[in-house]
Amino acid sequence: MSADPLLVCENLSFSYLDKFPALDDVSLEVRSGERLALLGANGCGKSTLLKVLDGLVFPGTGRYFAFGQEITEDALEDEQMNEAFRGRVGFVFQNSDAQVFSPNVAEEIAFGPLQLGLSREETTQRVTDVLAMLGISGLADRTPFQLSGGQKKKVAIASVLAMNPEVLLFDEPTAALDPRTQMWLIELMAQLAEAGKTIVHATHDLDALDRIADRCLVFGEDHRIAGVGTPSQILASRDLLLEVNLVHEHTPLPSPRARSLPHGHLEGL
């Protein structure tokens, strides 16, 4: 894994309607090839940070850099810049219904590559390849309302993978999925990481943390970063998890496999 950061946030703050804080003085780096988990209670800012990383919203204060260039609303108005950025970062939303909108699955997966300027022939091949890779070729002609929740999630992921992005952003990827689909998705994320993809995901799933992350950022309910460490370090820090309202006092935690992370310690920033 390269030590060079792909994404850099410097002292980001963001408020909805300029009234409701979502991020407060957040700084972080996302390194090439790493799997970074964003942890925290609902409303702490995880999803907002993913939207910033995807260029869907822009910080009120602070700066965001991707691939060495500052990402601003004005910068993304440049067509060439926008196309280059959109081709390198893909976002899988928590709610697949907000992402899957085309008349059928094949057209849904083709949408992104066509928007990036790929030919119809190359797009068709990508659709075929991604459908086969995810084992959903049989869904190609289905309409979204004919799909189960798990199938919609797979189609949403396929639509992002068809663009072959360098960075993948997942918002609560295993939420509301049945156990079999959850396991499928965890294994897929591991395969994508092995293929060199950089993955950032927001999650509440502490049980699978050591399988889907190399490093974790823990957000407090004050919308600031409360701690950073490996999954084992975070899971060993019960006081931290209690403080940020991720666990109950009597919640059993998965057994950590490394030393405890000192409370409030920030590693790797």
Task: Say how far apart CA 225 and CA 110 lie, in whole Å.
Answer: 38
Instruction: Assess if residue 36 is contained within a domain.
Output: yes
Instruction: Assess if residue 43 is contained within a domain.
Output: yes
Beta carbons within 10 angstroms of residue 261's beta carbon: 24
Instruction: Assess if residue 214 is contained within a domain.
Output: yes
Predicted local confidence at residue 174, as pLDDT:
85
8 by DSSP, 3-state: which? strand
Beta strands (DSSP E) in the chain are: 5-16, 20-31, 35-39, 61-66, 69-70, 89-92, 167-171, 198-202, 215-219, 225-229
Instruction: Assess if residue 142 is contained within a domain.
Output: no
CA angle centred on 124, ends 148 and 6, rounded to 5° = 80
Predicted local confidence at residue 88, as pLDDT:
96
Q: What are phi and psi of 76, to 5 degrees?
A: -80, -5
pLDDT digits (tens, 9 = 90+) for 218-248: 999 999 999 999 999 999 999 999 999 988 7
What CATH number does residue 86 fall under? 3.40.50.300
Regions in the chain scoring below 70 on pLDDT: 1-3, 250-269
- DSSP secondary structure string for all residues of 193-212: HHTT-EEEEE---STTHHHH
Instruction: Assess if residue 196 is contained within a domain.
Output: yes
Predicted local confidence at residue 100, as pLDDT:
83
Predicted local confidence at residue 264, as pLDDT:
40
Asked if residues 237 and 263 have their Cβ atoms less than 8 Å apart, the reply is yes
Instruction: Assess if residue 225 is contained within a domain.
Output: yes
Task: Say how far apart CA 157 and CA 96 lie, in whole Å.
Answer: 9
Instruction: Assess if residue 192 is contained within a domain.
Output: yes
Predicted local confidence at residue 97, as pLDDT:
81
Asked if residues 226 and 195 have their Cβ atoms less than 8 Å apart, the reply is no
Predicted local confidence at residue 65, as pLDDT:
97
Domain of residue 224: give its range: 5-98+166-243
Instruction: Assess if residue 94 is contained within a domain.
Output: yes
The total number of structural domains in the chain stands at 1
**CB proximity list for 125: less than 8 A, separation 6 or greater:** none
pTM of this prediction? 0.90
